[in-house]
Amino acid sequence: MSIALLPEALRRVLEDLERFPGIGPKSAQRIAFNLLTESPAFLTKLQNDIGGLLGGISKCQNCGMLTDGNKCKICIDSMRDKSVFCVVESSLDIIAIERIGEYRGVYHVLGGLLSPLDRVGPEDIGISVLIDRIDADKPREIILALNPSTEGETTALYIKKIVIQSNPDVVITRLAQGLPTGAALEYADDLTISHAFSGRRTLSR
Ligand SMILES: [Zn+2]
């Protein structure tokens, strides 16, 4: 189908949808044509819901998780063990880990992973924010739940090196290698994540 034949409003929606990862032209067409069959009430709701993303979402001032307040729901939960930090690449990784319901500590979201080739350095991913928090809160364990890619390994080793300089007694662990190399945590199945956590290995000491 040549989309030039379609009405302008529909073409614009197709272009918007194709920006998303995993959505090619065919998926975009399927979603857009489905939207056309939806009720005006639903389309208005969708419009409002997407509009709600504008200005309504920020990062937790404590851990960097997405939130609609100053602090995220995990940081304000008094039942969480504040002495265990789990360091992840993005808020999506927290959702994947929380889905299993076994981890009771808190998190820290980096702003990405170190990648010297792409000129992504420690300041670009907020390493100093993490170090400040560790120095202040003195956790007993830091779990590096970073993906097993080259960037994930580089970032884990860098964090370990910096953290033990000022916190020689903290236990630093890395998730077990159950995850396929390069696979994102957010796509791993529950059992794989559960095994990766229970089989985590110690990097420090
Ligand atoms: Zn938080």
Give per-residue pLDDT as tens, 153-164.
Answer: 999 999 999 999
The number of distinct structural domains making up the chain is 2
Which residues pair with residue 153 across a beta bridge?
none
Ordered alpha helix ranges (H), 18-90: 25-37, 40-51
Residues 88, 45, single domain; the answer is no
Question: At a CB cut-off of 8 Å and minimum separation 6, what does 69 contact?
Answer: none
Structural domain including 8 reads: 3-51
Q: How many whole angstroms separate alpha carbon 26 and alpha carbon 137?
A: 50
Q: Distance from the CA of 101 to the center of ligand 1, in angstroms?
A: 17
CATH number at residue 41: 1.10.8.420
Reported as a single tens digit per residue, the pLDDT across 14-53 is 999 999 989 999 999 999 999 999 999 999 999 999 998 9
Which has the higher per-residue pLDDT, 127 or 188?
Answer: 127
Q: Quick one: which of 92, 98, 99 has its CA closest to 64? A: 92
Q: Do 36 and 87 reside in the same domain of the chain?
A: no
Element (H, E) at 106: strand 105-109
pLDDT for 162-178, tens place per residue? Answer: 999 989 999 999 987 66
> Are residues 198 and 99 located together in one domain of the fold?
yes
DSSP 115: B
Residues 156 and 175 in one domain: yes
Are residues 71 and 46 part of one domain? no
> Model confidence over 93-104: pLDDT tens digits?
999 999 989 999
Residue 182 has pLDDT above 70, yes or no: no
Q: Is the CB of residue 118 less than 8 Å from the CB of residue 59?
A: no
* pLDDT tens per residue across span 69-117: 999 999 999 999 999 999 999 999 999 999 989 999 999 999 899 998 9
Ligand 1 centroid to Cα of residue 43, in Å, is: 32
Q: How far is the CA of 7 from the centre of ligand 1 (A)?
A: 44
The reported pLDDT for the residue numbered 205 is 61
DSSP code of residue 118: G
Expressed in angstroms and rounded, the spacing between residue 95 Cα and the centre of ligand 1 is 13
